[in-house]
Amino acid sequence: MTKKQRVVITGLGALSPIGNDVPTMWQNALNGMNGIDKITRIDTEPFQVHIGGELKDFNIEDHIPKKEARKMSRFTQYAVVAARQAVADAQLDINESNADRIGVWIGSGIGGMETFEESYEQLKKRGPRRVSPFFVPMLIPDMATGQVSIDLGAKGPNGSTVTACATATNSIGEAFKFIERGDADAMIAGGTEAPITNMSIAGFSASRALSTNNDPETACRPFQEGRDGFIMSEGAGIVVLESLESAQARGAQIYAEVVGYGSTGDAHHITAPGPDGEGGARAMKMALDDANITPDQVQYLNAHGTSTPIGDLFEIKAIKSTFGDAAYQLKISSTKSMTGHLLGATGGIETIFSVLSIRDGKIAPTIHADAMDPEIDLDITPNEAVDHDITYAMSNSLGFGGHNAVLVFKKFEQ
């Protein structure tokens, strides 16, 4: 049997409502910055929802020439920029000698929805001959991976996971397993999303998933009384995963080690979580078993914590089911309280928060925590960041369709 490779994270890249690079995003998270504001990308007047988490002061032409950018849907543009950041951060040189051992696995929950809407308008107004030949390559969710691999020259395992809100976490987990079993030396992995479009807002509103509270200072309130849905956001979170052998051979920086991955299905409902979050609990237990650790060894959990009434409560129940008495010693936070919910990108952003928490011994807070749900009695790190020595951190992502994905990270030791 082939020996399992140890897997480490050597590069980070992010675009988010609280920062267009990782250092800025992390500092703003520690400061409890609220990234939610009035939506400017579309006219929200016909909708119940008027706020979201948009990127700020971001111009794609600062990163990709206009002619090339026009051939990519916005979610793909975000992936290319964040992937470049991650690879540069890792100081990973992709060349003819190693390209076939470096892969890309980047997911998107809904892909090029904006491209679909614009192309359909062209079809209606000007007929089928005016639909762009780039329509399909821009629309399909795997094109973020395709364009990143083309841009960076990575020729190894190449694919895309689509599991709604669990997309990026599943993508990183699958990339972890590629390296662990020896199928790649490095993987560029994570998620990307550009969901602030007319159809997305209309559709998620119709499913009653979005908050109808349009006050940016109180709408996104995970674990609090009065929460009524999540806040839609955009961006990308990408990491470079690498075998320890590869990272050490080139003297790479190491943020943390990836040691556990769990993935389960609820087999219950298209949007609602399974009873008491039992599917999420099984995914957490699977990740702990994969890491070969016990619940009391985990110090921090970056919760899915979307600010939905049932979702938040059932995740807390799942945490209690998994951790038992150790749940009351566990530090938890929902960084979505600051970023909003980036759908398929959210697990990538939260992986970055988790590994930086380990590196710096700091936990970003759950902001807007002023009226705790009386049924939620765990430590959610309210309102202010805290210092906390962390050996193991866990990150949860729980998606529509009953998709649950969990990762466990460890402070790196030789």
HSE of 331, CA atoms in CB hemisphere, 13 A: 24
Which residues of the chain fall short of a pLDDT of 50?
none
CA dihedral in degrees (223, 211, 393, 85; nearest 10)?
A: -150
Q: Which residues contact 127 (CB under 8 A, 6 or more apart)?
A: none
0.85 exceeded by pTM: yes
* Residue 1 confidence (pLDDT): 57
The catalytically annotated residue of 165, 232, 316, 332 is: 165
For 17, phi and psi rounded to 5 degrees?
-65, -10
Token pair in block for residue 47: 């909708």
Q: Is 220 a catalytic residue?
A: no
* Residue 2 confidence (pLDDT): 72
Q: Which of 68, 106, 69 is nearest to 87 (CA)?
A: 106
Task: Show the domains of the chain with their CATH numbers.
Answer: 7-249 (3.40.47.10), 260-408 (3.40.47.10)
Q: Which of 397, 393, 394 is nearest to 344 (CA)?
A: 397
The pairing of strands 37-38 and 51-52 is: antiparallel
* Residue 3 confidence (pLDDT): 85
* Residue 54 confidence (pLDDT): 98
CA-CA distance, 197 to 255, in Å (whole number)?
35
Name the strands in the sheet holding 256-265, side by side, starting at the edge strand that comes first in the sequence.
Answer: 158-159, 102-107, 186-193, 235-243, 7-15, 256-265, 403-410, 392-399, 300-302, 331-333
Q: Judge contact between 229 and 308, C-beta under 8 A.
A: yes
Q: Judge contact between 299 and 393, C-beta under 8 A.
A: yes
Q: Which of 67, 105, 65 is nearest to 83 (CA)?
A: 105
